[in-house]
Structure 1
Amino acid sequence: MMKIHIETYGCTRNRADAEIMEALLVRAGYEISELDSADCVIVNTCAVKDPTEKHMRLRIKELIDSGRRVIVTGCLPHVNPDAIDQRVSAVLGVKSIDRIVEAVKAAETGKKLISVEGWRERSIDKLELPRVWKRGVAFVVPIGEGCLNGCTYCATRFARGVLKSYRPELVVKWVKEALSRGYREIQLSSEDTGCYGFDIGTNLASLLEEITAIEGDFRVRVGMMNPNHVIKFLDELVEVYRDEKIYRFLHLPVQSGDDEILRRMGRAYSVEEFEEIVEAFRRRIPELNLNTDIIVGFPGESEEAFQNTVELVKRVRPDKINVSRYSPRPGTIAARWKGLPGWKVKERSRYLHRLRLQIAHEINSRYLGREVEVLTHGAGKKGGIEGRTMNYKEIILPDGPTGEFLRVRVEKTSATYLLGRMVE
């Protein structure tokens, strides 16, 4: 039997999908291996941005040219199938990952399986599928797939489709199972956690109440949520966020500080509503770690519109901003519109990037000398032990145990992380 290697790109949802595919393959008797010894590579793709798609295309070609069979899964088959090398052995859509064993068997015999078309009619509940249990501190629990938004620039919805929320009892079951296996952090993931449950008569706040009622010392990181949904149950959500088991972390993308650009983006909320949500959280949640996303250079973004975004950033002062340069995605409405000159987009992006680093550094500097509680995650990429504070700021320690809650003194700060040492 072929040895299989899985490469996953993009969001935490893709990570969870990869663990499902790995579990199905192991159950079927396949060996999951490192790349060097693999006969077949599954490339679990992301296609949210044009540069990402280009990287996916090159990576697939590189793996095929190395003599390996390649199976492509993830969002790229839905967003731009023409970008996939025709020599691949199989192509699976995001709602066809339960066919991964069939795809590998086809590749072994030289046949080609393509399971992308008709994905809208397929309805698989991924919480009913197995997962591999890797060693670690954090475990991703998908709470749904798809969204209820109509953003004019987004191609991800072509892959994930309309919202399908997973039943609360299944989500809670997976959380309990993960905790029983020693995980200390639960990452709730979806394309938009803010609209969870709208299709099954519940909402995110109710789900969080059930999860925080579970016994044990653990933390929950809630994934990205869009303002147009959050505002519908704002008070209820803020109240449950006060529970000590939920990280004081809010990922609330604004995308633009100009109402006209938001309208063109199809975002279905106003700048005022975004600020109302932020103010409500900050009023009740001390030291909230606010993350947001901003797209610069969207078609029609005037100098005034960009300055409105800059002024919003200065008013709100998020802890972190994910700044993206607009890039048209195939099949989207916005791709038909005339774009801005590349030099102007780069100029605005660089300005906003400098501003966000300045604000982040000023915010993080307030932690200098303080004692904070930290959940350690394990070895850092550049040495030491990586951990997360209770508002999910990254902190690096010189040493320490993994998967433990520690008291830590912050000894140094930067715009992107904190440095600390265990308190004796």
Structure 2
Amino acid sequence: MKTLLKDREFVNDPKDADLIMINTCAVRLETEERMKKRISELRKYGKKLVVAGCLSGAEPGTVMSVAPEASLIGPQAIEKVRDIVDGNIKTALNGERASITPHMMEGKIGIIPIADGCAGNCNFCITKLARRKLRSYPLRSIIESAKFALSKGAVELELTGQDTAAYGLDYGASIRLPEVVRQVADLEGDFMIRIGMMTPEQASSIIDELIDVLKLKNVYKFIHLPVQSGDDEVLKLMNRKYTIDQYKGIVGELRAKVPFLNVTTDIIVGHPGETEEAFENTLSLMKDMRFERIHLAIYSMRSNTRSASMPQIPDKVKKQRMNMAYKLYEDISLSIHKEYEGKLTSLLLTENGRQGSVIGRTVNYIPVVVRGDHELGVRVSAKIDEASFFDLKGHLI
């Protein structure tokens, strides 16, 4: 939206604004509550208010109950943001095909959305109500955004989406994710590409080509492949389109053919139908697969989703299971990171860290904290001194 409003003046203080826009998230109940609280706070400034994002797209009635005077714009209608800001229309919740890839930079990292929405229909997901259809950005627009980021000094390009492996399905599958990665990788410059999250079912449909691009020298050996549960029956209740054996097969083939591959996953604890046995199956999967990073989340009931109508697991049980899963995750990740202690590694320094440090990434995207004020955007050699479950710490050599 800021890309489309680049000719407007942005201010840092809401008091100085003519219009205030909040871009919302609704993926979890506690997040929605924070969004509603913030909307209420922003109303007090007495300025024109625009509520954008997934809360508007999925629950417009909720937004209007908090701020009936607000204009609403859904996440798949951002092309209409100028009309909303200028007051030509009050509400825009759905749009046409995405045409302009946003220009987004975070320091030395260029963030490039390649698709909006997904091809799945998970029973627990409210995002599907906000982003109802898959919309792939045109390849030429993605390349333009990548060139823009590189011209601004980016050394890492993140190709993002709810399901990057679904890219192109809405175009008749004439161009898929691997071709996007390959064309971005062919651009001039010294940079690395990080491929964003993808579903196992879509990854399996392009696995040979995906393996080929993961082997490219300027692509991180990293894949984010959410499994969500280690139990087949729970996967059915979630409406996930694969079995645990199929998931293991995908990861096994990727790891066998892409050296040093880092597999990250997501797991939901306490989804309806998760018995004690099902939860134990999830813990077993974590042990067997040895994921370097796991995004763990307690199931959050979301309105108007199928999972919300199922018998719910008590909060106390969900919290107990979460504590067990998180402890196991910490132990597994720490044991993986301990293997790096005392070793030399090449890093690309991309971010400023806390308390006078910088963060670099290994070839398989593990963060390494380096003390000192070092120049970002350069490749360095480092020795790993210490490991935690979350990252590595080292010094330059």
TMscore range, shorter length: over 0.9
Q: 2:15, 2:45 within 8 Å by CA — same for their partners in 1?
A: no
Alignment equivalent of 1:290, drawn from 263, 282, 287: 263
Aligned to 1:187: 158
In 2, the alpha carbon distance for the partners of 1:32 and 1:397 equals: 34
Aligned to 1:368: 341
Shift of 1:173: 2.8
Q: 2:346, 2:381 within 8 Å by CA — same for their partners in 1?
A: yes
Q: 1:143, 1:165 within 8 Å by CA — same for their partners in 2?
A: yes
- Counterparts in 2 of 1:280 and 1:88: CA distance versus 1, 3 Å: farther
Q: How does 1:243-392 map to 2 (within 5 A)?
A: 243-392=216-365
What is the aligned length?
Answer: 392
Alignment equivalent of 1:414, drawn from 378, 388, 395: 388
Alignment equivalent of 2:134, drawn from 160, 163, 166: 163
In 2, the alpha carbon distance for the partners of 1:391 and 1:144 equals: 24
Shift of 1:338: 1.1
* Alignment of 1:228 onto 2:205: no
In 2, the alpha carbon distance for the partners of 1:135 and 1:342 equals: 37
Shift of 1:82: 3.0
Aligned to 2:56: 77
Aligned AA (2:394): G
In 2, the alpha carbon distance for the partners of 1:196 and 1:134 equals: 22
Aligned AA (2:230): G
Aligned to 1:24: 4
- Counterparts in 2 of 1:38 and 1:78: CA distance versus 1, 3 Å: same
Q: 1:96-119 CA deviation, whole Å, 9 max, x = no partner?
A: 32333333333xxxx982222xx1
- Counterparts in 2 of 1:36 and 1:319: CA distance versus 1, 3 Å: farther
- Counterparts in 2 of 1:271 and 1:58: CA distance versus 1, 3 Å: same
Aligned to 1:401: 375
Aligned to 2:78: 97
Aligned AA (2:9): Y
In 2, the alpha carbon distance for the partners of 1:380 and 1:88 equals: 41
Shift of 1:356: 0.3
Q: How does 1:60-209 map to 2 (within 5 A)?
A: 60-84=39-63, 85-106=66-87, 113-116=90-93, 119=94, 122-127=96-101, 131=103, 134=105, 136-200=107-171, 201-209=174-182
Query: TM-score if structure 2 supplies the norm length?
Result: 0.93
In 1, the alpha carbon distance for the partners of 2:388 and 2:106 equals: 30
Q: 1:64, 1:88 within 8 Å by CA — same for their partners in 2?
A: no
Q: 1:64, 1:87 within 8 Å by CA — same for their partners in 2?
A: no
In 2, the alpha carbon distance for the partners of 1:275 and 1:75 equals: 32
User: 3-state SS of the aligned residue for 1:300?
Assistant: coil
Alignment equivalent of 1:54, drawn from 33, 45, 54: 33
Q: 1:341-368 CA deviation, whole Å, 9 max, x = no partner?
A: 1111111111001100111111111111
Query: TM-score if structure 1 supplies the norm length?
Result: 0.87
- Counterparts in 2 of 1:57 and 1:44: CA distance versus 1, 3 Å: same
In 2, the alpha carbon distance for the partners of 1:65 and 1:36 equals: 10
Q: 1:285-310 CA deviation, whole Å, 9 max, x = no partner?
A: 22222110001111111111111111
User: 3-state SS of the aligned residue for 1:32?
Assistant: coil
- Counterparts in 2 of 1:135 and 1:299: CA distance versus 1, 3 Å: closer
Q: 1:190, 1:223 within 8 Å by CA — same for their partners in 2?
A: yes
Further displaced range: 33-42 or 371-380: 33-42
Q: 2:40, 2:67 within 8 Å by CA — same for their partners in 1?
A: no
Q: 1:402-421 CA deviation, whole Å, 9 max, x = no partner?
A: 11111111111101011111
Q: 1:22, 1:32 within 8 Å by CA — same for their partners in 2?
A: no
Shift of 1:69: 4.0
User: 3-state SS of the aligned residue for 1:386?
Assistant: strand
Further displaced range: 360-369 or 378-387: 378-387
Aligned AA (1:233): I
Aligned AA (2:144): K
In 1, the alpha carbon distance for the partners of 2:316 and 2:123 equals: 23
Aligned AA (1:149): G
RMSD of aligned alpha carbons: 1.9
Q: 1:79, 1:330 within 8 Å by CA — same for their partners in 2?
A: no
Q: 1:262, 1:270 within 8 Å by CA — same for their partners in 2?
A: yes
Shift of 1:32: 3.4
Unaligned runs of 5+ in 2: none
